[in-house]
Structure 1
């Protein structure tokens, strides 16, 4: 058995799954060793696009099982593509094949779904049924990104009602102007790419550690009130990292009509976004009523101007 363990520990997770499918005996062997490292350390990443794929990740190597609805010369063989070891399989029903593969990997190897990417555009008529499947098979995931160029209010709401995201949510979908996003309290990190629909009240209700909004219709006066509320502990008390688009540098005159300290631009301090150090030159310091200090500064990213806030953390 020791020799079998050594062999299974050396093969790729894609080969490991193929081995387990040979017979009932090989499946039992694979299940037995699945509880031991490195096999037990793998996690699943679900790419629900067209074509859908299942990625298996551990360490620095990423493996992908891709199900395609067209014939290609790459079918049935391992290859390296964009630093990913891929295997492509043809199927006339890609979604069913995808579901079966995920269910098998979770059942035999108990690998959790760590990340999930879902594009509503490409699977429009199947999106609800896929969410229903996720509700009973996946249950929860740490990281989730939702995409779609069509208005996706219904899909996003339905997804968040049925699948638990318990750390990071990236919303890249197009939402209607009056969409009311309800962010579960367990989400720590929220990024919204097309965030013009976010209002002052919605922003104030997000109790996340990190909030990044690429676009915003929130006015300068509302941002001024937002910071005042943070300083008096009326809202967003968990917030440590804010990144939000503003129109121009003149906006800062209105936004910071509140008690603050302007730091000399020659003073460079190391602040942290989660555990990542970030050198910040100058900036504007504001203080909360419990003594917490945050530094606000501007940053240009992809031709747009953003206002960032980082709360000083003690490590």
Structure 2
């Protein structure tokens, strides 16, 4: 039986080529661009790449993910030093999402990962990294070179998630270097055990979300410097006296003017009123009064009964309440 003749995709009219490309997975588009210089040139002419997001993962492996249309499709290159995994493809999903993983063998996975990432940025005409997921104690000897590489090749990181595998490992120096050299524009999540309370770390300004899982190192000085919309501080050690000073500064608009929601570990509302708000004008709202208040990132609102209100000099109100064992301050 004769094999069918190859279909000349690249000889079609431009609009027809673009429709073909739209039906491909992002990894298929990248692979097609590698066929020839002409294929690469035509691939770069496509106009629909704005719906793609590029994500990097640095942990036990090295991954480059291309997400499409709000994460409905995720295609990932995973670099591996295991030659047996080369070319393996995993795919799974449901009614509203698809995940495809392609394993790529390399004798030097870190350097090839860097070069592949530069190529993907070039093809998709991207300058912003949507997500950086990095476990800072997995490739300790390469952290600085990876950070330097990202600083040279991306203008900003929309969302940054920082992890460590072993709590005893000291990652302070590398996380400070990362945040001092990369611009994080929207969301920063810390899942790190910081060893030195006085280490030189620059928390980005104007974030939509700042989440710090172990925030013992966030003292009063850093608290008043934070300028983010949604802030979560787990296990903080800020004293009641310092919270009192912070709220007074907030009320006079000397700090945290962008704050929409502050979430802390659970504490008793009456105790907070007695100890922290003892000399701050406030109003106890009857529990029969129900209001929809900002509760979390993306301005998700919850129906809240009662609470305690304080007022800023510009008329903004902050309500303190407890919901699902989380003590929150919601600004409205």
Report the TM-score when normalising by structure 2.
0.86
Q: CA 1:177–1:73 in 2, change beyond 3 Å: closer, same or farther?
A: closer
The Cα shift of 1:247 comes to 5.2
Q: Give distance in 2, aligned partners of 1:139 and 1:244.
A: 32
Determine if contact 2:83/2:106 at 8 Å carries over to the other structure: no
**Does the Cα contact within 8 Å between 1:207 and 1:238 map onto a contact in 2?**
yes
In the other structure, the counterpart of 1:116 is: 132
Q: Which moved more, 1:143-152 or 1:211-220?
A: 143-152
Distance in structure 1 (CA, Å) of the matches to 2:111 and 2:89: 21
Q: Secondary structure, in 3 states, of the residue corresponding to 1:174?
A: coil
The answer as to whether partners of 1:128 and 1:155 remain within 8 angstroms in 2 is: yes
Which of the pair has more CA radius of gyration?
2
Residue-by-residue CA offset, 1:31-54 (whole Å, 9 max, x unaligned)? 112xx12x3321101111121111
CA contact (8 A) 2:180 2:202 kept: no
Runs of 4+ aligned structure 1 residues displaced above 3 Å come to 71-76, 246-251
Deviations 1:61-118 (A, max 9, x none): 2221111222556843352269522111222322112111110011122133111111
Mapping for residues 1-315 of structure 1, pairs under 5 Å: 1=13, 2-33=15-46, 36-37=47-48, 39-59=49-69, 60-72=72-84, 75-80=87-92, 83-111=98-126, 112-148=128-164, 149=167, 150-180=169-199, 181-246=201-266, 248=268, 251-252=271-272, 253-257=274-278, 258-272=280-294, 273=296, 274-300=298-324, 305-312=325-332
Within 2, Cα distance between the matches of 1:232 and 1:186?
A: 19
- Gap runs ≥5 in structure 1: none
Extract unaligned runs of 5+ from structure 2: 1-12
Closer/same/farther in 2, CA of residues 251 and 151 from structure 1, 3 Å limit: farther
Matches of 1:219 and 1:251 in 2, distance apart? 13
